[in-house]
Amino acid sequence: MAGKAAPSPYREQRRQIDADIKTETFRALYLITGEEIYLRSQVKTNLQKALCEGGGDGNLLRVRGEKTDAQEIVNFASTMPFFAKRRVVIAEDTGFFKNGSDVLTEWLKDPPETAALVFLETQIDKRTALYKAALKRGREISCDRQSGRDIRLWVASRLKRAGHNFTERTLDHFLSGMAGDMAHIDQELNKLIDYTEGRSEITAKDIDAITSGITSSKIFSLTDALSERNADEAFRQYVRLLETQEKPNSILAMIARQFHMLLQVKELVKRHAGEARIAKDTGLHPNIVYKYTGWSKAFSRAELARALQVCLENEQALKRGRLDRTIAVEMVIAQITSSKKAGGTNVA
């Protein structure tokens, strides 16, 4: 019998950071990693707000990119704050946790209590001395893409806090049309909550009336074309999605989520899991599990992993302004459909 997949460390790591914020006992460094941009942004915002409270812009340094000077960070962080509790550095995609930094590693041996560094890094190498030093003096939080079960719990919690009652079937209906990342789902939840203000019950009709999210038929048509390696049809479906006013970056995030889900499904199929087990473990609506099992057979595991990696790389390139939004999605579609279609049902 196959063992259960290891749970995501995100919940416990988030609990620890929330405790730091509540007690105001901050670490010298916080390292934010992972694929889920919504969670990364949320953690960064919460930390920045808590660390910079009453500090003013003069006590905050923002840096980005691999041309960042580590000595500049150390010099800023080592200076006494001006009428504030601490100096704060927010650094994004510097590459220090991939390539290492002797300057930062040395600084972390005895950091001042009046400084806090927050790093958001896409790539890390856990073998570097800097990463090991960061774990001793700070905290890491892995904002990985959440499981289907975690997404369900998050959505249910959001709706309950807003004072809404709903059935499991209603929740299924909402999530069956959501193929995007958490930022997209959050956007649709906010619209749904506003639309139903003044009454507690949310119905399927409410969801159909207000959510402009990608319907299952639209994203499924695109996934069908990608699994068939039909570039012309995939681009036609992409254009149809654009015509619904969906933004290219949202569509890219939804494609990434589809391939993340296909990876999970492929692993479960490999373990001979039935549709009920797949639905339970992934959070997919039971009525659409068969679609994902079919799609997963059209790709090898390596192809699914590579497709997901291409999506994530282009998401980051978009975030950094290195790619046009439309071109980024077109590149992903072109790369996925250019690979040779896997044959049979026992593809590794």
* Residue with the larger pLDDT of the pair 346 and 146: 146
> What was the pLDDT predicted at 283?
77
Distance of alpha carbon 31 from alpha carbon 23, whole angstroms: 19
| Residue (of 311, 310, 309, 320) closest to 65 by Cα position | 320
> What was the pLDDT predicted at 341?
64
| For residues 288-303, average pLDDT | 91
* Residue with the larger pLDDT of the pair 121 and 246: 121
pLDDT confidence band for 78 (50 / 70 / 90):
very high
Written as six digits, the tokens of 101 are 């930094």
For the chain, domains (ranges, CATH) are 10-142 (3.40.50.300), 147-213 (1.10.8.60), 215-348 (1.20.272.10)
pLDDT confidence band for 333 (50 / 70 / 90):
very high
Written as six digits, the tokens of 253 are 């995030």
| Residue (of 57, 112, 119) closest to 80 by Cα position | 112
User: Per residue in 8-44, pLDDT tens?
Assistant: 689 899 999 999 999 999 999 999 998 888 999 999 9
> What was the pLDDT predicted at 71?
97
User: Per residue in 90-133, pLDDT tens?
Assistant: 999 999 999 999 999 999 999 999 999 999 998 899 999 999 99
User: Per residue in 34-63, pLDDT tens?
Assistant: 888 899 999 999 999 999 987 677 899 999
Residue with tokens 């962080």: 77
| Sequence-distant (≥ 6) Cβ neighbours of residue 238 within 8 angstroms | 222, 251, 329, 330, 333
> What was the pLDDT predicted at 325?
76
| For residues 224-245, average pLDDT | 90
pTM: 0.66
Distance of alpha carbon 314 from alpha carbon 41, whole angstroms: 18
Distance of alpha carbon 318 from alpha carbon 335, whole angstroms: 17
Q: On the CB side of 31, how many CA atoms lie within 13 Å of its CA?
A: 24
User: Per residue in 121-147, pLDDT tens?
Assistant: 988 999 999 999 999 999 999 998 777
> What was the pLDDT predicted at 302?
93
Distance of alpha carbon 183 from alpha carbon 325, whole angstroms: 17
* Residue with the larger pLDDT of the pair 145 and 84: 84
